[in-house]
Amino acid sequence: MEKIADIIDSIAHEKGLDIKNVTEAIKTAFIKTAKKVLGEEKEFEAELNDKSKKIQVFQKVEVVADDDERAKEEPERYIALSEAKQIDPDVEVGDELRYPIEFAKLGRTAAMHLHNEIEYHIQRLIEQQLFEKYKNKEGTIISGTVTRVDEDENTYVEIDEVKGILPKRFRIKGEFFKPGDVLKAILRRVIIDRVYGIYLELSRTTPKFLEELLKLEVPEIKDGLVKVEKVARIPGERAKVAVSSQSPKIDPVGACVGVRGVRINAVSKELKGENIDCIEYSPIPEIFVARSLSPAIITSVKIEGDKAVVMLPPDQKSKAIGKNGINIRLASMLTGYEIELVEKGSAIESEKKEQSEPKITLQDLFKE
């Protein structure tokens, strides 16, 4: 094959691939073709001559001792020493003899196989490069144009040189897309499929999507002055975000909400009107739990292992629970504690106090 080096340069330039990787892919294509045409049991190697710009394929045969049975059982891969010396007097056991293969004489079938193999290996190389490119973008927001929605309500998106899919289960409840819409989503993972090639799995329901949207709208988060500590979401309904300030001069909640709520409203609009509560994070569990139950006003919080016992006035209980229990669910998701609400002045409160107060025995009274 003449001027194969020029073909390699052309492919590397056109596809944006590394020339060394393209060279190895082409060599592999030649070797695979030789195996298909001349026999899978044979061993081959390919070399590229930089001066002649030609690629040469050789069949390799290992030299073994005369009494080695492999020379009789697998003559395509092994040759006895005495026979090998007739070809090269200086050869020794363990050396390799190489026989050049003239591809031009292998006919049209070999040419067709070679074309298919080159195409296959270059495509795999492109996919691997795309995989590495987008693998580094997992967990970030990407956008693309909707091309179609199938009968199972999975949304297909065109994203530059690859395809994306937003499965129905990762779509916010109640939202629909049509061809031509521009869709934003988190890149959940990159998948290489033997049939469909490389594609991106997207999500709009993960808490990470809300976090990344805030990063886009709030410069203080992008600059590292405000940190998103934790996020809890019930997609399309409500979310809670715990933020902290890395500077005493910045109010983290105010920075996220923005003047007249302009920043948080922009994020909410992207999430189909999802109601977003921003609270200030605290490393002290009791304080964090109390803040997470906002807008309810909490009297006290006691941590008992994985449970947080929350004392609050009777008129605050409904606020702490929220509509359909959504507020307390989000607070539990955000803090990681199972939250138990106890109304102040109730019989349960008295029982809790009794359990927590030390009991005095008769022995204690007689101690000096």
Among 139, 158, 136, 137, residue whose Cα is nearest residue 147: 158
Instruction: Give percent above pLDDT 70 in the chain.
Output: 93
In this predicted model, what pLDDT tens digit does every residue of 137-150 receive, in sequence order? Answer: 999 999 999 999 99
Burial class (CB in 10 A: 0-12, 13-18, 19+), 234: middle
Identify the residue with better confidence: 334 or 91: 334
Burial class (CB in 10 A: 0-12, 13-18, 19+), 94: exposed
In this predicted model, what pLDDT tens digit does every residue of 170-190 receive, in sequence order? Answer: 999 889 999 999 999 999 999
Dig out the tokens for 261 from the structure. 């709520």
User: How far is it, in rounded angstroms, from Cα 205 to Cα 292?
Assistant: 21
Residues of the chain with CATH 3.30.300.20: 206-281, 290-368
End-to-end CA distance of the chain: 106
Q: Which CATH class is domain 4-125?
A: alpha beta
**Mean pLDDT of all residues belonging to the chain:** 89
pLDDT, residue 352, reads 53
CATH 2.60.40.10 matches 206-281: no
Q: Which fold has domain 290-368?
A: GMP Synthetase; Chain A, domain 3 (3.30.300)
Instruction: Give the bridge partners for 341, in sequence order.
Output: 310
Tell me the average pLDDT across 344-365.
Answer: 47
Just give the CATH number of 147-203: 2.40.50.140
